[in-house]
């Protein structure tokens, strides 16, 4: 992808996401109860997005290689598709029972896991697949258990979101777009990380995303 177009992609996706969230939140606030609970979940998603906005737009002057291979664009578009699919159409839940509450808990648990993983990785974390000067392997916190806990958190956060706003569009977007996009993203990232001296040993004893699954 052209370098200039690539640089415009994160802001464009971010802006589209903000518009989708504004539409979804505004519509539910106007509807009042019981839609106010849905608005609260979307507000939490907005807060999460804003917390990550610094990473979304930052670039590293220490970057030594970049090998996204289009995975960033696929990943970003799949996330936007899931968000639009759950925030815009009506859901199939009736009120707030135990099942829906559990789905919201999964959403928040995924967000916490992702933010924890991003914080633990520090300056080595980026939305782009790249290496930086002095790149080191982090094996503490959630990285003790899986190689890519930030993606694990992303998957579970959106799984919970889809379940909380249950409709066929959200399920389809999650299963057909987000899951394949995350799998491709992880494989592309692994191809770069395997070139670091210590990564093959680190990866040997840890699953990529979910223990006993993958």
* Residues in Cβ contact with 31 at an 8 Å cutoff, skipping those fewer than 6 apart: none
According to the model, what pLDDT value does residue 193 have? 84
- pLDDT (tens digit per residue) in 108-147: 999 999 999 988 876 656 666 555 555 678 788 899 999 9
167, 85 in Cβ contact below 8 A? yes
**The pair of three-digit structure tokens given for residue 147, joined into one six-digit string:** 């190689």
Question: In angstroms, rounded to a whole number, what is the distance separating the alpha carbons of residues 125 and 132?
Answer: 10
Please name the helix (run of DSSP H) or strand (run of DSSP E) that holds residue 99, with its range, or none.
helix 98-121
More confident residue, 33 or 187: 187
Res 11: pLDDT: 82
Q: What is the largest CA-CA distance in the chain?
A: 56
pLDDT at residue 172 is higher than 80: yes
Contact in structure between 65 and 130 (CB atoms under 8 Å): yes
Where does the pLDDT of residue 207 fall: very low under 50, low under 70, confident under 90, or very high at 90 and above? Answer: very high
* Distance (Å, whole) CA 153 – CA 161: 12
Of these ranges, 25-29, 48-52, 176-180, 196-200, the one predicted with the greatest mean pLDDT is: 176-180
More confident residue, 156 or 95: 156
Please tell me the predicted confidence (pLDDT) of residue 62.
41
Domain coordinates of the chain in residue numbers? 3-204
pLDDT tens, residue by residue, 47-59: 999 988 877 666 5
**Is 159 in contact with 86 (CB distance < 8 Å)?**
no
The pLDDT assigned to 163 comes to 96
Domain 3-204 bears CATH identifier 1.20.120: yes
8-state DSSP, 97? -
Residue bearing the bigger pLDDT, 33 or 191:
191
| pLDDT tier at 64, thresholds 50, 70, 90 | very low
**How much is the pTM?**
0.88
């Amino acid at each position: 992808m052209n370098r200039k177009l690539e640089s415009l992609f994160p802001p464009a996706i971010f802006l589209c996401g903000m518009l989708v969230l504004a539409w979804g939140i505004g519509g539910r606030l106007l509807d009042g109860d019981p839609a106010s609970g849905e608005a609260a979940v979307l507000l939490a998603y907005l807060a999460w997005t804003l917390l990550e906005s610094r990473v979304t737009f930052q670039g590293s002057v220490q970057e030594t290689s970049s090998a996204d291979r289009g995975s960033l664009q696929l990943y970003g578009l799949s996330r936007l598709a899931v968000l639009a699919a759950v925030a815009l159409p009506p859901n199939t839940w009736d009120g707030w029972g135990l099942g829906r509450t559990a789905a919201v808990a999964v959403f928040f648990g995924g967000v916490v896991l992702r933010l924890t993983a991003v914080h633990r990785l520090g300056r080595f974390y980026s939305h782009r697949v790249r290496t930086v000067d002095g790149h080191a392997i982090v094996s503490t916190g959630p990285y003790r258990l899986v190689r890519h806990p930030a993606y694990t958190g992303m998957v579970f956060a959106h799984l919970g979101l889809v379940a909380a706003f249950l409709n066929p569009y959200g399920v389809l977007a999650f299963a057909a777009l987000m899951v394949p996009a995350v799998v491709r993203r992880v494989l592309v990232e692994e191809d770069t990380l395997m070139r670091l001296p210590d990564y093959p040993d680190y990866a040997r004893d840890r699953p990529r995303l979910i223990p006993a699954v993958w």
